[in-house]
Structure 1
Amino acid sequence: MNSIATTSATQAQQDIAEEFAFFGDWTERYQYLIDLGKQLPPFPEADKTEQYRVHGCQSMVWLVPSGDASKMHFEAISDSAIVSGLIALVLRVYSDRSAQEIVATEPQFIATIGLAKHLSPTRSNGLAAMLTKLKGYAAQALA
């Protein structure tokens, strides 16, 4: 697997699409999402604050930005196993990139792998809220 730093956001989305294409059905894809979520780095309890909470998610989600416009890093976690897997995908596409690339990158992988059709409306809304917050941090860094 490529290191995040060497791949573009576009390449990361293609890699995700290829990985999900290996799985025949959504039971396997959900299990893969849960496994990805379990691989997220430990998240500091001290950062589980209202300031970093993503609103619009049914489950609890926290997203912490760091870095500057040239390279932004994000850490995030959820109390839901599937949502943590979604976070892992989002971070692969958007973390450790320039704010410009973050703002310019549309999350095409969501449609490509069929997530849009297989997530509950509340999870879809939560994913949208997380992407909006992440892109908002990038837009602030550019301002």
Structure 2
Amino acid sequence: MATEAFEEIAETFEFLDDWEDRYRHVIELGRAMPPLDDSFKVPATKVEGCASQVWLLPRIEGTGPEARFDFQGDSDAMIVRGLIAILHALYAGLSVREVLEVDAQAELARLGLDEHLSSQRSNGLRAMIGRIRRLAQETMETA
């Protein structure tokens, strides 16, 4: 289950044969993402477990399982900003119930990210996914 925005990224990755081209595309996705205002770069939005500085600010409308999930994010590393943009494409607009149903590892494997990210970046990506899933789970429980 992937959003239309994520499917577009996956299709673009299919056309990019070389990993260097894919890497540049990830960076471009990050550049296109609006920056997070500095006032939101606080400990409460910081994602622990990332080598770079990463902040995720949830934007959830509603309560319970059908609440709509969205977030803003930012990082001090361009490749990580791109990974945040990919996660945004994967999750934004889903209900929190659907967020919990997404197999992020399988979806991201379609992009080849699992094979080409350093272990530190992979750990950071898992930490961001973990934060997103916790936010969704907490919202599910507020019915």
TM-score, normalised by the number of residues in structure 2: 0.89
Pairwise mapping of residues 73-112 of structure 1 onto structure 2 (< 5 A)? Answer: 73-107=70-104, 108-112=106-110
Q: Which amino acid aligns with 2:28?
A: D
Aligned length: 136
Deviation at 1:55, TM superposition (A): 0.5
Q: Which runs of 5+ in 2 are unaligned?
A: none
Instruction: Report 1:54-73 matches (<5 A).
Output: 54-67=47-60, 68-69=62-63, 70-73=67-70
RMSD: 1.4
> Is 1:49 equivalent to 2:47 in the alignment?
no
Q: CA deviation at 1:9?
A: 3.0
Q: What SS does the corresponding residue of 2:70 show, helix, strand or coil?
A: strand
Q: Which of 110, 115, 118 is 2:116 aligned to?
A: 118
Where do 1:33-44 residues align within 5 Å?
33-44=26-37
CA deviation after TM superposition for structure 1 residue 96, in Å: 2.1
Q: In structure 1, what residue type is equivalent to 2:84?
A: I
- Determine the C-alpha separation between the residues in 2 that align with 1:110 and 1:19: 13
CA displacement 1:24-58 (0-9 Å, x = unmatched): 21111111011000011121100000110001100
1:15 deviates by: 2.6
The runs of 5 or more residues in structure 1 that have no matched partner are 1-7
Question: What is residue 133 of structure 1 aligned with on the other side?
Answer: 131
TM-score normalised to the size of structure 1? Answer: 0.89
Query: How far, CA to CA, are the matches of 1:92 and 1:113 in structure 2?
Result: 13
Aligned sequence identity (%): 38
